[in-house]
Amino acid sequence: MTSKSWVNEIKKQMKLKGVDSRGFENVIQTLAEILEQRDKIYKQFQDEGALVMVEYTSDRGNVNQIINPLLKEWQNMNRDALVYWRELGLTPAGLKKLNEDLMKEKKESALDAVLSKLEGKK
């Protein structure tokens, strides 16, 4: 998917979870770009045969088997995306944290306390 498609999907998911996406535009855009790049890397990995291990020739001419660098990068992109998903409330833990922050009782200011007492005396 393109980053624009990802932006729409992320906002849709946030709406389904009851999270207001306003104010998160930069974070959403960054996540969308990570996901677009991740999709491209995964497609390249698939197109090249989806090999988990590939041959690598060192500068000394030794041939070794290593984990496919595309697979490693795809995993890194997923890890990076997870951080943003959490921050946007798109994981259970992230949503719980956002909801707890919103539900925390706000401290009443001294002025509010005095005004409340005055209203109660009328």
What is the Cα–Cα distance from 89 to 16, expressed in whole angstroms? 11
Q: What is the pLDDT of residue 32?
A: 97
> Which residues lie below 8 Å from residue 93, measured CB to CB, with a gap of 6+?
86
What is the Cα–Cα distance from 116 to 67, expressed in whole angstroms? 66
What is the Cα–Cα distance from 50 to 120, expressed in whole angstroms? 71
Q: Over its length of 122 residues, how does the chain's per-residue pLDDT go in tens digits?
A: 999 999 999 999 999 988 889 989 999 999 999 999 999 999 999 999 999 999 999 999 999 999 999 999 999 999 999 999 999 999 988 888 877 765 565 566 777 777 777 777 65
Q: Which of 41, 21, 18 lies closest to 29 in space, CA to CA?
A: 21
Name residue 65's beta-bridge partners: 55
What is the Cα–Cα distance from 8 to 35, expressed in whole angstroms? 12
**Which residue's structure tokens are 């969308």?**
32
Q: What is the pLDDT of residue 28?
A: 96
Q: pTM of the prediction?
A: 0.75
Q: What is the pLDDT of residue 74?
A: 97
Q: Longest C-alpha distance within the chain, in Å?
A: 91
69: left (phi over 0), alpha (psi -120 to 50) or beta: alpha
Q: What is the pLDDT of residue 104?
A: 62
- Give the tokens for residue 72: 């490693």
**Tens digit of each residue's pLDDT (9 = 90 or more) over 48-66:** 999 999 999 999 999 999 9
Q: What is the pLDDT of residue 95?
A: 86
